Amino acid sequence: MTDSTLGTRTGRPLGVAVVGAGYWGPNLVRNFQASPHFRLRWLCDLDVDRAHRVLGAYSTVEATADYAAVLADPEVDAVAVATPAGTHLEVALAAVRAGKHVLVEKPLAATYSDGARLVAEAEDRGLVLMCDHTYCYTPAVSSIREMVRSGELGEIHFVDSVRINLGLVQKDIDVMWDLAPHDLSILDFILPETVEPVAVAAHGADPIGAGRACVAYLTLQLNTGAIAHVHVNWLSPTKVRTTMVGGAKRTLVWDDMNPAQRLAVFDRGVDLATPQEIGPNERREMMVSYRSGDMVAPALKEREALRAMVDEFAGAVTEGRAPLTDGRAGLRVLDILEAASRSLEFRGAVVGLRAGH
């Protein structure tokens, strides 16, 4: 057990440092400061003035550009990394080697091999490595996971996700690496442990000449014979955030843009009679029947996903367990993204995924 882990057993709040004061860092700062489980000690950024602006004039939290000083602080139990993906390996690896538990914003790393190094180092040292797959901690996705894993929907037949908007065209990554990690992390989170993607095919287009795919479609084969599909798009004039999970018993629709009814569960579907249930002279078409039942809109408890994520990080550290979205979950997402990139290069060829992580 590390000294850092020992410190968490005393009941005191966990000392935490946030690295990166750009787009996502301020959200982490706000949630760590609001959590009774943590005491924010440092905000580290190469632009110290920016860090001071995020903290505010009266904050007692230290702002610094000296990452070595942060890691040398024995009161820091954990580090939250909110820097560009290309720096995740360097920043997170230094924290792990300093004996700190680590939270990394998505994606876990810029490549699968980098992510695998991080996972191996953290496991060797008995430290928590967690991915900030924020959507997994929304009330809607928590509810979907529960329904899927309890068998309420029945065996999963298909998953279909759409994440499109008139988006910010990124300079360094394509639309797939920008938006699909959300949907892929959600898919990884909700599927039963015995169900997993085994291959992916991706198609993309760059109709505006941005130099990278601005529209992409990913099709994932699951080991059960089911299918999952993800559509991501920077060029849509309307913003759509929907996911449909179709099961043998029920089908669920999540519309994240409809706060009045985010989830709807339909007791409607297609039933296939077994051969024993039909006479020898009946046509095969008679084996298919359509079921039409009620629609239910489950009530959801509203809470901020980031707050739930921060609580899960604290729980994993203090209880010495793997978080729900651990480093291996981040690796599985990277595996799909890298395979999808290879598929894009070969015009939609089906690319197999690594077996086990």
- For the stretch 268-313, pLDDT in tens is 767 666 655 555 555 555 566 666 777 888 888 888 899 999 999 9
Tens digits of residue pLDDT in 171-212: 889 999 999 999 999 999 999 999 999 999 999 999 999 999
**Element housing 102 (H / E):** strand 101-105
- Residue 262 identity (one-letter amino acid): R
Q: How crowded is the C-beta side of 172, counted as CA atoms within 13 Å?
A: 4
The residue-averaged pLDDT of 88-107 equals 97
297 vs 242: CA distance, rounded Å: 15
Q: Compute how many other C-beta atoms are within 10 angstroms of the C-beta atom of residue 4.
A: 23
Model-level pTM?
0.90
- Residue 153 identity (one-letter amino acid): L
What does DSSP say about strands 101-105 and 129-132: parallel, antiparallel, or unpaired?
A: parallel
pLDDT of residue 156: 96
The residue-averaged pLDDT of 100-124 equals 96
Q: Which residue has the higher pLDDT, 6 or 275?
A: 275
If DSSP codes are grouped into helix, strand and coil, which group holds residue 2?
coil
134 vs 105: CA distance, rounded Å: 9
pLDDT of residue 272: 66
Q: Which residue has the higher pLDDT, 117 or 302?
A: 117
pLDDT of residue 291: 64
Q: How confident is the model at residue 5 (pLDDT cuts 50, 70, 90)?
A: very low
> Where are the domain boundaries for CATH 3.30.360.10 in the chain?
136-303+335-352
Q: Which residue has the higher pLDDT, 57 or 335?
A: 335
pLDDT of residue 356: 59
> Where are the domain boundaries for CATH 3.40.50.720 in the chain?
3-127
256 contacts 242 by C-beta, under 8 angstroms: yes
Q: What is the CATH number of domain 136-303+335-352?
A: 3.30.360.10
pLDDT of residue 7: 43
| Burial of residue 44 (number of CB atoms within 10 Å: 0-12, 13-18, 19+) | buried
pLDDT higher than 60, residue 343: yes
Q: What proportion of the chain, given as a percentage, has pLDDT over 90?
A: 80
The residue-averaged pLDDT of 89-93 equals 97
18 contacts 310 by C-beta, under 8 angstroms: no
Q: How confident is the model at residue 215 (pLDDT cuts 50, 70, 90)?
A: very high
pLDDT of residue 3: 45
Class of the CATH domain delimited by 3-127: alpha beta
pLDDT higher than 80, residue 2: no
- Residue 291 identity (one-letter amino acid): R
**Chain mean pLDDT for the chain:** 91
pLDDT of residue 301: 83
The verdict on whether omega for the bond into residue 139 sits within 30 degrees of 0, i.e. cis, is no
158 vs 347: CA distance, rounded Å: 23
Evaluate the CA torsion angle 181, 172, 102, 301 in order and state its sign: negative
What does DSSP say about strands 78-81 and 101-105: parallel, antiparallel, or unpaired?
A: parallel
216 vs 342: CA distance, rounded Å: 13
Tens digits of residue pLDDT in 228-278: 999 999 999 999 999 999 999 999 999 999 988 999 999 876 766 665 555
pLDDT of residue 1: 40
